[in-house]
Amino acid sequence: MAFTRRDIISLRAVSPERDVLVCIFQRGAADGLNSVVPYGDPDYAIKRPRIALPSPGETGGVIDLNGFFGLHPALAPIKPLYDAGRLAMVHATGIPHQSRSHFDAQALVEGAVVSKTDLSEGWIGRHLATSQALSESAFRAVSISGNVPFSLTGAIEPIAISGIQEFGLGELTGSTYQALLGDWYEPGAPYSDPAQAAIAAMDELLLANLSGYAAENGAAYPQSELGNKLSQAAQLIKSPLGTEVVCMDVGGWDHHENLPNFLPPALADLAACLQAFDTDMGTRMANITVLVQTEFGRRVADNAASGTDHGTASVAYLLGAGVNGGQVAGNWPGLGDEDLALGEDLRIETDLRTVLDELLRKRLGRADTQQVFPGFTGQPELSLFL
């Protein structure tokens, strides 16, 4: 059952035909309007009297991107990536579901469907289950966590790994002790799928012999949960383990109150992590795409507690050498009263599936996405990828 060393060496981490996909999910509904700020829209400052950020050039002002949008100052570390053409944002985007519940919305967004009756597995799980495997690796789909996000659920058993160095049985890894567990959890036994995948993954990790990780090119990951997760993703992607998709969560975005205090550190961490990952991966970014998304945006108007309640559209970020960067893509619906969804929310102008569809076709080697987004007829693509 165990892989031989030759099998492992024959695996390739980064395929020239297919990007590795890294998905970062901002749990809690991140406020796109104060992240990638439409300072050029006159209604922005009017509707957010307590929390609007100043225009570029003013004290604490946003960092101008294109004369209309500006980055929150805490996102400064990703501005060079934007300028270098490797980072793009899509604004006023989302999956057009009707839920403002975090929990329903996360499931719908991760399923990439608009109705709960269509929820069965995650969009990445569907993609993996219906695409040619690049290897027999247990590590095709990885969650940097003890658990599996809904987006990865499907036919492939993902590896949920919260720490590479802890993923094993100590000196019993690869021993007859482990083999006995494999026999006990034989196919047909309850939970044999995750058990067998865990055992295969332990064997592969043992052979790959990943020791302590040192980032390259002078990259320094923040000492944060996300920094830790991204550096582990980097180590896996650089290894010969055949990882095709890595998912991770970053929490702490549900700012119903005091957004001016709580949002900047969260954005600063995200930006520093993305910058470190891009630096660390260096030329490997030619075959890596990073997607950052959330379950929905927040209300346009702020509330009395200087926070924002649940809304509709938000912003998504795409990073990689294959990204047609340096743009904030998508139509801008406007923030005037007559422009708003439900009379109060940023409207979805770009169905996020349009972006994911282009990503799968141009970067992940899919010819046809109907099995991933059944029934989605699509919008014209935004040319977000090379």
Partner 1 sequence: MSVSRKLSRRHFLSLTGKGIGYSALAAAASACGGGGGGGAAAALPPNPPAPDPDPDPPPTARIPSPSTAFSVLKRTSFGVSKSSLAAIESIGILPYLAQQLDYGNIDATLVEAAVAAEFPLAASAPAALRPGFPDNIEAVVRDLVGATQYRACFSPRQLYEVMVEFWSNHFSIQLINGFEPVLKPEDDARVIRPHALGNFRDLLFASAKSGAMIYYLDNFLNTAEAPNENYARELLELHTMGVDGGYSEQDIKEVARCFTGWTLDFNTAEFTFVPFFHDDEPKVVLGQSIPAGGGISDGETVLDMIAAHPSTARFIATKLCRRFISDEPASGVVDSVADAFRLSNGDIRVTLEALFVSDEFMLTSDSKLSRPLEFLGQAVRSLNPDLSLPGDRGELLFGVASVLGQLPFYWPTPDGYPDTAAYWGSTGGLLNRWRIALGLSFGSFFPLNALIGAEDTIATIVERLADEVLMRPMAPSDRQLLVDWAVETIGLPADSAIPAAVIPEVLPIIVSLLLSSVYFQLR
Pattern 34-73, binding to partner 1, x per CB under 8 A?
----------------------------------------
The reply to whether 225 sits near partner 1 by the rule CB under 8 A is no
The reply to whether 188 sits near partner 1 by the rule CB under 8 A is yes
Size of the site for partner 1 (CB under 8 A): 74
Q: Which of 16, 57, 60, 166 binds partner 1 (CB under 8 A)?
A: 166
Q: Any residues with CB less than 8 A from the CB of 213 and at least 6 apart, and which?
A: 164, 231, 232, 234, 235
CA distance 236 to 364: 18
Q: Which of 108, 148, 230, 364 binds partner 1 (CB under 8 A)?
A: 148
Query: What is the smallest separation between the CB atom of 61 and partner 1, expressed in angstroms?
Result: 26
Q: Which of 71, 114, 161, 247 binds partner 1 (CB under 8 A)?
A: 161
Selected range binding partner 1 among 12-20, 170-178, 225-233, 318-326, rule: CB under 8 A: 170-178
The reply to whether 381 sits near partner 1 by the rule CB under 8 A is no
Query: What residue type is assigned to position 174 of the chain?
Result: G
**DSSP label of 286:** G
Q: Which of 182, 222, 227, 333 binds partner 1 (CB under 8 A)?
A: 182
The answer to whether 87 and 325 are in contact (CB under 8 A) is yes
Number of C-beta neighbours around residue 141 at 10 A: 29
CA distance 258 to 11: 49
Residue closest to 318 by CA, chosen among 91, 66, 128: 91
Q: Which of 59, 67, 132, 211 binds partner 1 (CB under 8 A)?
A: 211
Q: Which of 15, 162, 224, 228 binds partner 1 (CB under 8 A)?
A: 162
Cα 355 from chain centre: 13
Binding positions for partner 1, 246-275, rule CB under 8 A: 251, 254, 256-257
**3-state SS, one letter per residue, for 187-213:** ECECCHHHHHHHHHHHHHHHHHCCCCC
**DSSP label of 385:** B
Q: Any residues with CB less than 8 A from the CB of 51 and at least 6 apart, and which?
A: 34, 259, 260, 302, 306, 307, 308
CA distance 373 to 382: 17
Task: Name which of 198 and 281 has its Cβ closer to partner 1.
Answer: 198
Q: Which of 120, 165, 261, 331 binds partner 1 (CB under 8 A)?
A: 165
Selected range binding partner 1 among 37-45, 176-184, 359-367, 368-376, rule: CB under 8 A: 176-184
Query: What is the smallest separation between the CB atom of 13 and partner 1, expressed in angstroms?
Result: 18
Task: Name which of 175 and 331 has its Cβ closer to partner 1.
Answer: 175
Query: What is the smallest separation between the CB atom of 16 and partner 1, expressed in angstroms?
Result: 29
Task: Name which of 209 and 377 has its Cβ closer to partner 1.
Answer: 209
Q: Which helix (H) or strand (E) holds 152?
A: none
The reply to whether 331 sits near partner 1 by the rule CB under 8 A is no
Pattern 85-104, binding to partner 1, x per CB under 8 A?
--------------xxxxxx
Q: Which of 59, 209, 223, 377 binds partner 1 (CB under 8 A)?
A: 209
Residue closest to 313 by CA, chosen among 339, 281, 289, 276: 339
Angle at 300 between CA 296 and CA 304, to 5 degrees: 110
Q: Which of 16, 57, 60, 146 binds partner 1 (CB under 8 A)?
A: 146
Q: Any residues with CB less than 8 A from the CB of 97 and at least 6 apart, and which?
A: 104, 105, 108, 109, 113, 114, 115
Query: What residue type is assigned to position 118 of the chain?
Result: D
Q: Which of 60, 214, 223, 304 binds partner 1 (CB under 8 A)?
A: 304
Selected range binding partner 1 among 71-79, 155-163, 351-359, 370-378, rule: CB under 8 A: 155-163
